[in-house]
Amino acid sequence: MVTTQTADSVLKSYYLDVVGEQLDKSANPFLAAVNKTTSDVWGRDVRKLVRYGLSGGIGAGTEEGALPKAGSGNYAQLVSTLKNLYGTIEISDKAIRASANSEGAFVNLLNDEMDALVKSSSYNFGRMLFGDGSGTLATVSSVSDGNVVDSVQYLSEGMIVDIYASGKTLKQGGVTVTSIDRANKKITLSDGTLAAGDFLVVQNSYGLELTGLKAIFAETGTLYGLDKSKNSWLKPYAKDSFGEITETNLQASIDAVEEIGGGKINFILCSFGVRRALIEALAAYRRMEPLALEGGHTALSFNGIPVVADRFCPAGTMYLINTDDFALHQLCDWQWLEGEDGKILKQIAGKPVYTATLVKYAELMCYRPCGQGCLTGIEEK
């Protein structure tokens, strides 16, 4: 007979490994390519000591002349707080009792819940990789003819969001996005009144998300506790108003990044429109064979470099990345939150519903931002 105790056992023994693998490998090609490590985690923080530039101590001289003066080495400590990543499922008491005498029905029930968890979590974590850590989804442009926002790229029906005023003060929390008019960038919420300048954030997540590519590629500000204006090696290569994409001008940008950073670009992220433009530019004279990537993903190849289009990449944008310079530092792999009694499924107070929560404490770090590149203003197709 199926009970909450047997459900706990199945969630621990089977679903944890399966879901963890899906979220780490299958959710996003870029995330799958990034190393996951528990190193350099100290308490609630990640503290990574990195070397930048050259250490000095080299030179030429005469047979009897002075030897080169040794350089002290250029070191910096990158510091960032581990982010708390959660994924929650809910199962009603009625559903558990209805499948109590049928293991097959119970398995189907859990499969459906876990599939929904993986889908929602994959969407959210994939979006975080392109964000700046703030969790901002969209900003309200006007409300005179419906709730018009600047972009609906990061929004989906069913998302639960918080409304913040332009002064970064919380107006209302726990509001559901009920519908989206993507053509006109209009949204409808279950509750709350919006005003121009308000912005939407994933529930309870403002300023608490992973440090994504938007923060890493920002030209100003701080990154991992260091001021970019005082640390030139924290600034990636950037080329604005790129225009029409060709094999020659794309390779020129890759060469520029590698000349400056000294590494090798081994991963390219872009928007769907940019990928179409690249296909058109190369299709006339080159046969493009797909590359097989880790996690079951496939990609186009540009001079041996995988090119992946991502739904969350900004329009007209391409990121040139050396994945060897990135790592997802984590306190542990995905785990279920357990109560003092060791149970995973817990009844929500006052409701005939049980909930279980997956958690990972992690942060994305780039050790050498100067070895990465960003191209914007690319003409899409």
* Structural domain spans, the chain: 4-53+75-131+329-366, 136-202, 234-326+369-375
> Two tokens at 81?
């707080």
Report the alpha-carbon distance of residue 103 to residue 368 in Å, rounded.
51
Output the pLDDT for position 288: 67
- Structure token pair of residue 128: 């975080």
Helix/strand/coil for 92: strand
pLDDT at 121: 85
Domain 234-326+369-375 superfamily per CATH: hypothetical protein PF0899 domain (3.30.2320.10)
pLDDT at site 310: 94
Q: How far is CA 279 from CA 128, 249, 302, in A?
A: 27, 15, 10
DSSP conformation letters of 25-74: IIS-HHHHHSEEE-TTEETTEEEEEEE-S---------SSSPPPPPP---
Which residues of the chain register pLDDT less than 50? none
Helix (H) or strand (E) holding 170: strand 170-181
Q: How many CB atoms lie within 10 A of CB 93?
A: 13
- Where do we find the tokens 């293991």? 103
What's the token pair of residue 311?
């739904």
Number of Cβ within 10 Å of residue 126's Cβ equals 17
- What pLDDT, on a 0 to 100 scale, did the predictor assign at position 195? 94
Which of 3.50.70, 3.30.2400, 3.30.70, 1.10.287 would CATH assign to domain 4-53+75-131+329-366?
3.30.2400
User: Strand 160-164 to strand 199-202: parallel, antiparallel, or no bridges (unpaired)?
Assistant: antiparallel
Cβ atoms of 147 and 178 within 8 Å: the answer is no
pLDDT at position 57: 65
Structure tokens at 207: 């300023």
* Same topology between domain 4-53+75-131+329-366 and domain 234-326+369-375: no
Buried b (16+ CB within 10 A) or exposed e, 129-154: bbbbbbbbbbebeeeeeebbbeebbb
Task: Output the pLDDT for position 238.
Answer: 95
Residues 6+ apart with CB under 8 A from 224: 48, 78, 79, 80, 211, 365
What pLDDT, on a 0 to 100 scale, did the predictor assign at position 180? 97
Q: What is the pTM of this model?
A: 0.89
pLDDT, tens digit, for every residue of 326-352?
999 999 889 998 887 888 888 888 888
